[in-house]
């Protein structure tokens, strides 16, 4: 069992919104690893960061991604930083991974001032710019397909991803 598609990208790329639309169009279930993490931890991600630190969050994220890649057969959205982990990137090698690419301006419009996003708590613009630069090579490394999301609505992106999966 394996996901039909794994969506990766920085926060604001549209992984959750596009993923849900894609799953609905394909008649498949949708899951977001951030939601699974919150369910397992019994608290929101910002609280995990505050209470236990980023390292504890990343360890839980690594476990959730690994188990979900083995047991879930729908469309799966990963948290933006999941690809930072070497073992996660290796696990993704055998999967169809779609990188939803977004540039800084569109990402900022989508995430606003970062409410509920612990990594954007201080200087959202500079932090998001750094995250984009740091993570883009890793997203490209794991990607089977890359889809540009700038200036586009999820309703336009999901059919493009579906067509890539069918090809």
pTM of the model: 0.89
- The answer to whether position 56 is within a domain reads yes
- The answer to whether position 165 is within a domain reads no
CATH of the domain at 46: 3.40.50.300
Distance of CA 121 to the CA centre of its chain: 19
16-57 confidence digits (pLDDT tens): 999 999 999 999 999 999 999 999 999 998 889 889 988 999
- The answer to whether position 87 is within a domain reads yes
Average pLDDT of span 82-100: 95
Quick check: 8 pLDDT over 70? yes
Enter the tokens of residue 109: 């419009």
- The answer to whether position 167 is within a domain reads no
In the DSSP assignment, the letter for residue 118 is G
- The answer to whether position 127 is within a domain reads yes
Average pLDDT of span 96-110: 83
Query: What is the tally of helices (H) and strands (E) in the chain?
Result: 8, 5
Enter the tokens of residue 79: 């948290």
Q: Which domain holds residue 122?
A: 5-160
What's the domain count of the chain? 1
130-164 confidence digits (pLDDT tens): 888 899 999 999 999 999 998 888 889 999 999 99
């Amino acid at each position: 069992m394996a996901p039909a598609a794994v969506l990766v990208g920085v926060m604001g790329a549209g992984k959750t919104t596009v993923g849900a639309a894609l799953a609905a169009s394909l008649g498949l279930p949708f899951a977001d690893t951030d939601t699974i993490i919150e369910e397992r931890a019994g608290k929101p991600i910002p609280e995990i960061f505050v209470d236990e630190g980023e390292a504890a969050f990343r360890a839980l994220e690594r476990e959730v991604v690994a188990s979900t890649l083995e047991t879930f057969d729908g469309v799966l959205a990963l948290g933006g930083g999941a690809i930072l982990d070497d073992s996660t990137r290796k696990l993704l090698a055998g999967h169809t991974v779609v990188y939803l690419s977004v540039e800084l301006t569109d990402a900022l419009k989508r995430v606003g001032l970062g409410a509920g996003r612990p990594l954007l708590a201080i200087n959202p613009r500079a932090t998001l710019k750094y995250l984009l630069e740091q993570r883009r090579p890793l997203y490209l490394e794991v990607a089977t397909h890359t889809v540009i999301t700038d200036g586009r609505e999820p309703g336009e992106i999901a059919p493009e991803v579906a067509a890539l999966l069918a090809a």
